[in-house]
Chain A
């Protein structure tokens, strides 16, 4: 069974930093692209960032480009999202999701970790 366990969400002040982690199981991590998708309270889904299976290529939405850094450690089976320069509109539940090789959708999702940016 595929499981994705996010952690690292917290209350942080505007301008602060946070690192989210995602620990997957039930599939061969190094074969899958991985993504973060967020959902602000009461709002819809927003794609944040994707990394290919090797970790060599990363992609970001305009809203986080230059502030967030997505990385992965295939030897440790872990996905990371370094979030810098946090703003109030980054407040959301952050989901980790995997993507089968060659697919364009998000196959399995974690339960999310909550990031709150507030003074």
Chain B
């Protein structure tokens, strides 16, 4: 089983700042890495899939990068609605796993 470790657990930033979230896999996950955003009381929403591709309707300030075992979600300039919890997710064969999440909070 591939384990995804996200860091930091909490990121305290101000609106307008850049956010950089990390997701590290215990072994290579090829390019099947996705990112989700979850706000309190809401279902998760797909942001990024296949490492780089933005899902439909996702603003350009969200971008994904990485390969092998190290992946990053970047938010170029935080908007008030971006403060939320973010999860990475991978598929290996017929097994799907999520990271434990990074909370982006207002500083």
**Which A residues are within 8 Å of any B CB, using their own CB?**
35, 37, 44-47, 50, 57, 59, 61, 95, 103-112
Contact = CB atoms under 8 A, between A and B. Distances in A.
Q: Which secondary structure dominates chain B's binding surface?
A: strand
Interface of B: 32, 34, 36, 38, 42-46, 49-50, 55, 87, 89-91, 94-101
Contacts of A47: 95-98
A46 B55 CA distance: 21
A44, A45, A107 interface centre (most CB from chain B within 10 Å): A45
A50 B94 contact: yes
Nearest to B92: A104
Nearest to B56: A107
14 contacts: A44-B101, A47-B97, A59-B94, A95-B43, A103-B49, A103-B50, A105-B50, A105-B91, A106-B34, A106-B36, A106-B46, A107-B46, A110-B43, A111-B43
Contact of A105 (B34, B38, B43, B100): B34
B43 A109 contact: yes
Given A44-B100, A47-B98, A105 B49 contact: yes
Contacts of B42: 111
A25 B65 CA distance: 32
Contacts of B34: 104-106
B101 A105 contact: no
A106 B87 CA distance: 12
